[in-house]
Chains A and B, each alone.
Chain A
Amino acid sequence: MSQRSRLVLAVLVLTVLAMTCVPLLRAQSPELPPGPMQGKVTTACTECHESRIILQQRLSKAAWTKEVDKMIKWGAVVDAADRDGFIEYLSTNFPTDKPPYEAGKTSAEKRKK
């Protein structure tokens, strides 16, 4: 095989790999809903745990207040001026009467040939 053919083959293999892997990489860890605090909540909370932990909660404002204060105590970096905004964002987006979060399943492992 010529050097050029090898190069073409390598590019082809890498392209196929990229096409098959990228959608998988993009598929998981859903984003938090849009809103003024989306970015700050994402940064502060997903430092330690992923977004699903938040997405599946259905809590009152009082319960969200307890959770936010607990997490700040446990090291979540939240500017004091943002605390109320965090509670407002979380209790507005994940209130008690929102329909349940639909959980997915782990994917099949690619079999080794």
Chain B
Amino acid sequence: MISRRDFLKRTSAAIAAAGAIQPLLGWATEDSGVIPGKEGMIVRSFRFLDLEMPPEYANLFITPVPHFFVRDHMHEPSTLDAAEWRLAIGGEVEKPMTLSLADLAKLEPHTVTNTLECAGNGRAFHTPHVPGVQWQRGAVGTARFSGPRLRDLLERAGVKPAGKHVMFHGLDEVPGKVPPFIRSIPLDKATDADTLIALQMNGAALTKHHGFPARALVPGWVGAASCKWLAEVKVLDKEFEGNFMNPGYRMPNQPIKPGEAVRPEETHPVTALNVKSLIASPSDGASLESRSVHIQGAAWAGETDIARVEISTDDGATWQSAQLGKEHAHYAWRLWSHTWKAPKAGTYTILSRATDTQGRTQPATAVWNPSGYLYNAIDQVKIHVAA
């Protein structure tokens, strides 16, 4: 539990360091392959910055910030002065407000341990292929996010009866005529006790790639809901109308065949994450000396809890229950492990399958959709056992 004094101290330190942070807010160093603070990440793109976590890190309950995936839709803010930065709260409210970072830091902080996953994680595995960042298995991570509750701010501002949705607008810089990255969430989710204006990640001020100085944290939902470099919170009388709400980030209401047209009114926005598991080790393609194989990883289910994780080493003919880890938080992934003795030397495929407390189980084949969202087929790695 974070005390208000500690929170204020750490956030104040971030404001004081703003002068030092500013030079870091330049472009990703596309030409050198170095992204300060992000080492050994799978590069989907340097510009816009899209970095994937190597799956091996899913053996940790809390993902260290240097290994936490990054999804930028636009250019990061080229300059950002924390002392000058303000958050505007307006729209369908009685008292519009403008808050500084110091104002936010004085509010009661709350911490939520949340698994954040990009809606397009696993897009590369859809058949036929769909356009977009070709994420494979690691556009996901778990962190402790801290900051004031959004609902405390909305209560102060006084949401009018007409208010139905809450829109987030960040400071990303938009190239060309690209529509700005603006999205909204329903008022119910915005006023949930766990929806935050996060100022910290894993106990330190947000880094620039994760939305310094403030981001929305919409727990259990796709990462796109948790707007980075937040500058404006606006209460609307309906869902925001813009590219990243429609046609972006929508799923067909019913599964469709590839190539089949889908009418906009037969789609809905992607919100909560699917039930899913990820094998952290052994790595895909690993050669192992011992026939005793320790299998471990993580499983998550958005707003619901993981009930069980099962492992198969015979192409899904039989399944063995994995042991769930002790660390547990409502919106966070659950670590799991299982030890399996390979009967003889050879090549094997290890499958992992999660089921949540609502009875949802990972399918053998994920539901195809035109933008490749919410891929959640059973995870698998191929290994070779030598001895």
Interface residues of A (CB under 8 A from B): 24-25, 27-29, 47-50, 52-53, 56-60, 62-63, 66-67, 73-76, 96, 100-101, 103-110
Considering only residues 138-186 of chain B, those with a C-beta below 8 Å from chain A are: 175-179
Is B31 positioned at the interface, with any CB of A under 8 Å from its CB? yes
Residues on B with C-beta less than 8 A from A25 are: 31-32
B124/A53 in contact, CB under 8 A? no
Cα A26 to Cα B183 with chains together (Å): 38
A103-B176 in contact (CB<8A): no
State in angstroms the CA–CA spacing of A105 and B259 once bound together: 34
Total interface residues in chain B, CB < 8 Å: 35
Of residues 189 through 240 on chain B, the ones whose CB sits less than 8 Å from some CB of chain A are none
Tell me, yes or no, whether B343 is within 8 Å of chain A by CB.
no
- The answer on a CB contact under 8 Å between A106 and B47 is no
In the complex the two chains form, what is the Cα distance from A15 to B38 in whole Å?
Answer: 29
Residues in A with CB closer than 8 Å to B45 are: 49-50, 52-53
Q: Shortest distance in angstroms between A80's beta carbon and chain B's nearest beta carbon?
A: 16
Contacting pair A57 B34 (CB below 8 A): no
Q: Smallest Cβ distance from B325 to chain A, in angstroms?
A: 27
- Chain A proximity of B133: nearest CB distance (Å): 7
User: What are 9 A-B residue pairs whose CB atoms fall within 8 Å in the complex?
Assistant: A27-B31, A28-B30, A28-B46, A47-B176, A57-B129, A75-B178, A96-B129, A105-B43, A106-B33
- B97 interfacial by beta-carbon distance below 8 Å: no
Assess whether B36 is interfacial by the CB under 8 Å rule: yes
Report the 6 A-B pairs with minimum CB-CB distance, sorted nearest first. A75-B176, A75-B177, A107-B33, A48-B175, A56-B134, A58-B129
**Bound: A96/B177 CA distance, A:** 29
Whether A74 contacts B128 in the complex (CB less than 8 A), given A53-B133, A106-B34, comes out as no
When A and B form their complex, what is the total count of cross-chain residue pairs whose Cβ atoms lie within 8 Å? 100
A91 to chain B, nearest CB (A): 12
Q: How far is the CB of B310 from chain A (nearest CB, A)?
A: 28
User: B176 touching A106 by the CB < 8 A rule?
Assistant: no
Alpha-carbon gap, A62 to B131, bound state (A): 11
Is B39 among interface residues, defined by CB-CB distance under 8 A? yes
- The answer to whether A57 and B36 have CB atoms under 8 Å apart is no
Q: Which chain A residues border B52 with CB–CB below 8 Å?
A: 103
Contact of A29 among B30, B37, B124, B175 (CB under 8 A): B30
A28 neighbours in B (Cβ, 8 Å): 30-33, 46
A9 CA to B331 CA, complexed, in Å: 58
Which B residue's beta carbon lies closest to that of A98? Answer: B129
Residues 1-57 of B at the A interface (beta carbon under 8 Å): 30-48, 51-52, 54
Which A-chain residue is minimally distant from B134 (CB atoms)? A56
Contact residues in A for B133 (Cβ distance below 8 Å)? 53, 56
Chain B's closest residue to A24 (CB) is B32
Q: How far is the CA of A14 from the CA of B133 in the complex (A)?
A: 39
Option from A59, A74, A76 in Cβ contact (under 8 Å) with B129 = A59
